[in-house]
Amino acid sequence: MNATSFPAYRPRRLRQLPVLRRMVAETQLGAHQLVLPYFARPGKKQRRAISAMPGVFQLSVDELLKDATAAHAAGVPAVLIFGIPDTKDEKATGAYASNGIVQQAVRALKKELPGLLVITDVCLCEYMSHGHCGLVHRAAGKVLNDPTLKLLARTAVSHAEAGADVIAPSDMMDGRVRAIRTALDAAGFQDAPILAYAAKYASAFYGPFREAAESAPQFGDRRSYQMNPANAEEALREVALDIAEGADMVMVKPALAYLDILHRVKATFGYPTAAYAVSAEYSMIKAAAAKGWIDERAMTLESLLGMRRAGADIIITYSAKEVCDWLKG
């Protein structure tokens, strides 16, 4: 197809009026597609600012309830809960404790805001004293895959028991979706959906998150289990494996630097697909806006629209509440 095939076509005719531009827009961004992440911590009246993420806080459950209530009233339909425990150890016991911080947050949210969709991140890094996403063989400096699966499955079941609506494993251990699906089914949670962090890259864009979640590895890095940013075909294999193991939805993380992956995942599998606009994506826009270099609202909405255009059905973003307000304007 080329311009000479339609000699009378003048594209600008459809761009003259705002109402017409909206009417013929090919891609829509709506509040119903957004998920707002939260960092829950123990205590009361705790609101600890995260220096690298302006406007984002570690919140005790009472403060989290206040923020989530306001966000839900603004139009945010779903939240994603991360936990920061009081103590950490080499078995991540806080991750699957019945009264762990995520479990407390979930119970409180489901009691006070039953219409809010609560998604829980299932990983062990925040709860491990060494900061890795699994059990570690210290002498070999190696993260152990199969023994870690049991702890991940136990964590997922404890989240479901607390009332979580969606379980989202982010650890990138091989076989984790199957282990979690099997454990959920055995515990009577056959209807609990799994949103798998299926294509999660070992990215420099996670920097601010390390402060927010207090989860930086104490040695080495996560390249032995998170994906190489150079690889695209591998992402399709990872997604295919997670779907085969029982994932109901899949995720690409980060988002903006991986829009090609997002598009290929959606086009190849057609499954409900999430994009995670990660911490540095948020922080870079905030920092540039604070300098007066960019229009924060315009750039945020454009970047999220790009994720939608690439194929995202769900967008996890720290700007979710602001976006809901902007979309009303």
Catalytic residue check, 142: no
Separation of alpha carbons 127 and 95, rounded Å: 6
Give me 176's structure tokens.
Answer: 């984790």
Which residue type does 169 have? P
What phi and psi values does residue 277 have, to the nearest 5 degrees?
-80, 95
Separation of alpha carbons 298 and 35, rounded Å: 19
**Which among 253, 266, 286, 321 is annotated as catalytic?**
253
User: Can you say whether the dihedral through the CA atoms of 243, 248, 252, 253 is positive or negative?
Assistant: negative
DSSP 8-state assignment for residue 126: G
Question: CB burial class (10 A; 0-12, 13-18, 19+) of residue 40?
Answer: buried
Nearest C-alpha neighbor of 191 from the set 162, 158, 167, 155: 167
What phi and psi values does residue 225 have, to the nearest 5 degrees?
-130, -20
DSSP 8-state assignment for residue 27: -
CA distances from 46 to 43, 66, 118, 287 (A): 6, 12, 21, 25
Catalytic residue check, 200: yes
DSSP one-letter string for 226-286: SBPTT-SHHHHHHHHHHHHHT-SEEEEESSGGGHHHHHHHHHHH---EEEEE-HHHHHHHH
Strand 273-277 and strand 249-253: pairing? parallel
What phi and psi values does residue 85 have, to the nearest 5 degrees?
-80, 165
**Which among 91, 110, 200, 291 is annotated as catalytic?**
200
Give me 25's structure tokens.
Answer: 């827009």
Task: Return the SS3 of 57.
Answer: strand
* Catalytic residue positions, numbered: 200, 253
